[in-house]
Structure 1
Amino acid sequence: MTAFKLPESVLVVIYTPALDVLLIQRADVPDFWQSVTGSKDHVDESFEQTARREVFEETALDCREGAALQPHLHDWGLENVYEIYPRWRHRYAPGVVLNTEHLFGLEVPANTPVRLNPGEHTHCQWLPYAQAAERCFSPSNAEACLMLPRLARRKGVS
């Protein structure tokens, strides 16, 4: 039996105090720059657990339980529901066309080193939030970058 991806995912905008945003380039689609994203591994995995796992898997930045960056992950309390791009629908159960994406922010110090998972991403860059928004392939990712000045001030979450 094939295990289909769950249509529930996270978007984690990683940023510095100066509001520079980390964008990573997908290995399978070179013109696709994005923040950290990923689907839940199983239905019982919380969005927060998914966010912490995906950040570590894709960037080697550790915000998992007990790690130094743990308190810097913030649940923005926002969700996007969007149509899954046709090129990726085969990963989901037949008939699934919508995904729910939960948004998080992760503040890290400037010049924080990033180690990409080469199977998923090939390059990374830090850009001021407005420039990052222009570079993002995904409209929901671009919108999250543009909301960063307002959302970064809301520190009281997770």
Structure 2
Amino acid sequence: MKIPISVLVVIYKSNRDVLLIERADRSSFWQSVTGSLDAPDEDLTLAAAREVFEETGIAVEALPAGALRNMHHQIEYEIYPEWRFRYAPGVTKNTEHWFALQVPDDTQVKLAPREHVAYEWLPFQEAAKKCFSRSNGDAILKLFSAN
């Protein structure tokens, strides 16, 4: 069963282009890196780094110190009914913690084909609009309103 605590990582370059990835299980569902904790006590930053590597092949530990930042923001959202079977019975809400990751401009992306089928680097305003999830778009806009 999935744990209803997750991370969302907005990956971006120095020019403020943001990486979006398209889900394999839902056509036209563009998003940032997301994923649930593997254990209730898993460190959020470690979970964010793990999800980034699993979904994009980007190794956070190989980047400069401070590249991955906790945005110190979390939201609670309703889990889509069609995905609730992944959670314990009666779980309907998830708490998502937001992170930002600045990567070098020449960063290569290697998608996990079972999870994602395509990726794009987009100017942050376009990326925010293209996200299927409104809160994902909000995370992108929040990141760049703080810079």
SS at match of 1:71: coil
Segments ≥4 residues shifted beyond 2 Å: 67-71
**Cα deviation per residue 1:2-41 (whole Å; 9 max; x = unaligned)?**
xx10000000000011110000000000110000000000
Q: Secondary structure at the match of 2:73?
A: strand
Partners of 1:142 and 1:119 lie apart in 2 by 24
Corresponding residue to 1:143 among 119, 125, 138? 138
Aligned to 1:19: 16
Matched, 1:118 2:127: no
Residue from 33, 42, 46 that aligns with 2:43? 46
| Percent of pairs with identical residues | 53
Residue segments in structure 1 that go unaligned for 5+ positions in a row: 154-158
Q: What is the root-mean-square deviation in Å for CA atoms of aligned residues?
A: 1.1
Give the secondary-structure state (helix, strand or coil) at the position aligned to 1:21: strand
Report the more deviating stretch, 25-34 or 141-150.
Answer: 141-150
Q: Which residue of 2 aligns with 1:129?
A: 124
Tell whether the 8 Å contact from 2:63 to 2:103 is kept in structure 1 after alignment: no
List runs of 5+ in structure 2 lacking aligned partners.
none
Cα distance in 2 for partners of 1:73, 1:150 equals 17
Distance 1:113 1:29 in 2: 24
SS, match of residue 129 in structure 2: helix
**AA aligned opposite 2:48:** A
Letter aligned with residue 5 of structure 1:
K
Q: Cα 1:70–1:52, aligned 2, differ >3 Å: closer, same or farther?
A: farther
Determine which of 79, 83, 86 is the counterpart of 2:81. Answer: 86
TM-score, length basis structure 2? 0.96
**Aligned positions, number:** 147
